[in-house]
Amino acid sequence: MVDVTVICVGKLKEKFYREAAEEYMKRLKGYCKLEVVELPEQKLPKDPSLGEIQAALEKEGDAIRAKIPPNSSVVALAVEGRMRSSEELAQLISAWTHNAAKHLVFIIGGSYGLHPSIKAGAWTTLSMSSMTFPHHLARVMLLEQIYRGFKIREGSDYHK
């Protein structure tokens, strides 16, 4: 069974996000060993300066790096990343399973995204859409798409 880690900056506070995430985490148990790691989002003032934002992203980046398992392929979610179809994500998962890496790690940043070093060090970047979504919703969407990717790989009719 493959190891998949989802590292998220920020906690799911709203019950409806938690319940949706838990549902896809439960469904994924049959396809992978899934770990979801929540890291605290750095506190910033109401109107932070660019320097304050960069400092927060750097601290979050350090915390993220500390949680990436050795020998991992990292997929960073970023608005400027490559948009992929569900079928392309399934192909990405398949390509990774034939890779020497032991873990597939997806990283979701907080309100201000990810530190550039995290994106630069990723195996690939992924954009969910050119639209803006709350990072809490992005987690649910990502978990669903990972599940969909495994279902596509097995030839299930889930993906129609």
For the chain, list the domains and their CATH numbers: 2-42+50-154 (3.40.1280.10)
pLDDT at 150: 93
The whole model's pTM is what? 0.93
CB of 83 closer than 8 Å to CB of 130: yes
Short-list 68, 79, 49, CA closest to 106: 68
Strand order in the sheet with 103-108: 32-39, 2-9, 103-108, 72-83, 124-127
Residues 6+ positions from 90 with CB-CB distance below 8 Å: 148, 149, 150, 152, 153
79 pLDDT more than 70: yes
Encode burial over 114-138: b for 16+ CB neighbours within 10 A, e otherwise: bbeebbeebbebbebeeeeeebbbb
- Residue 132 pLDDT: 83
Collapse the DSSP code of 31 into the 3-class scheme (helix H, G, I; strand E, B; otherwise coil) and give the result.
coil
- Residue 137's alpha-carbon distances to 59, 110, 149, in angstroms, are 23, 11, 18
Q: Where are the beta strands (DSSP E) in the chain?
A: 2-9, 32-39, 72-83, 103-108, 124-127
Per-residue confidence band for 160, with pLDDT thresholds at 50, 70 and 90: low
Tens digits of per-residue pLDDT, 143-158? Answer: 999 999 999 998 888 7
pLDDT digits (tens, 9 = 90+) for 108-127: 999 899 999 999 999 999 99
Model pLDDT for residues 10-48, shown as the tens digit of each residue: 999 899 999 999 999 999 999 999 999 999 999 999 999
